[in-house]
């Protein structure tokens, strides 16, 4: 599997990319959804994809983990209203659950990949909404790779 450093490869999927990274202690991102706090240049283009898979690599610490929440950017909205959370219903095949903000739950640094729905959106930011056991961590990466392709004719405004 090819690992690239930004965005999805134009080549044959699956292409694993580093969506975000830092040489620092893991920490949650700001909950204030403005362009000053959520950098649009760090969003990934998910055009043509119904879902992506995300995972984390974390250096140091004891059993660290991150919870990832996808944010969707509307470039035509005013700052402070551009980044949106999607409240999703239950996945296909699940009968009991309430609608909820889509997130991964805590992803351990064991190379697990978790599927997130992105609905073909052009600008998706993978926000760190929570961390676990962050003490003594020294570096982190959020990894992403294409999931299911979007069915043509069902494209969101973006």
pLDDT tens for each residue of 146-157:
988 887 655 555
What's the burial of 153, exposed, middle or buried (CB within 10 Å: 0-12/13-18/19+)?
Answer: exposed
- Is 80 exceeded by the pLDDT of residue 99? no
Percent of the chain having pLDDT more than 70? 77
Q: Would residue 93 count as lying in a domain?
A: yes
Q: Would residue 157 count as lying in a domain?
A: no
Q: Would residue 107 count as lying in a domain?
A: yes
Q: How many domains does the chain have?
A: 1
Q: Would residue 155 count as lying in a domain?
A: no
Q: Which residues pair with 140 in a beta bridge?
A: 22, 58
Q: Would residue 156 count as lying in a domain?
A: no
Q: Would residue 119 count as lying in a domain?
A: yes
Q: Would residue 38 count as lying in a domain?
A: yes
Q: Would residue 78 count as lying in a domain?
A: yes
Question: Do residues 91 and 102 lie in contact, with contact meaning Cβ atoms separated by under 8 Å?
Answer: no
Query: Is the alpha carbon torsion for 112, 118, 123, 124 positive or negative?
Result: negative
Which range marks the domain in which residue 15 is found?
Answer: 3-146
Task: Quick: pLDDT tens for 34-83.
Answer: 999 999 999 998 888 888 999 999 999 899 999 999 999 998 998 888 99
| CATH code of the domain containing 45 | 2.60.120
The pLDDT score that the predictor gives to residue 34 is 92
Query: Residue 125 corresponds to which tokens in the numbers above?
Result: 């930011």
């Amino acid at each position: 599997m090819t690992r690239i450093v930004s965005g999805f490869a134009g080549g044959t999927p699956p292409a694993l990319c580093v969506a975000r990274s830092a040489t620092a202690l893991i920490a949650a991102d700001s909950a204030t959804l403005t362009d000053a706090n959520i950098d649009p240049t760090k969003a990934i283009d998910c055009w043509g994809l119904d879902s992506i898979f995300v995972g984390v690599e974390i250096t140091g610490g004891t059993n660290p983990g991150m919870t990832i929440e996808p944010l969707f950017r509307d470039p035509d909205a005013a700052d402070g209203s551009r980044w949106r959370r999607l409240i999703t219903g239950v996945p296909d095949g699940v009968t009991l659950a309430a609608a909820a903000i889509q997130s991964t739950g805590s992803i351990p640094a064991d190379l697990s990949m978790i599927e997130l729905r992105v609905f073909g959106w052009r600008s998706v930011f993978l926000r760190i909404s929570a961390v676990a056991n962050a003490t003594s961590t020294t570096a982190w990466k959020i990894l992403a790779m294409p999931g299911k392709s979007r069915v043509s004719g069902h494209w969101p405004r973006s």
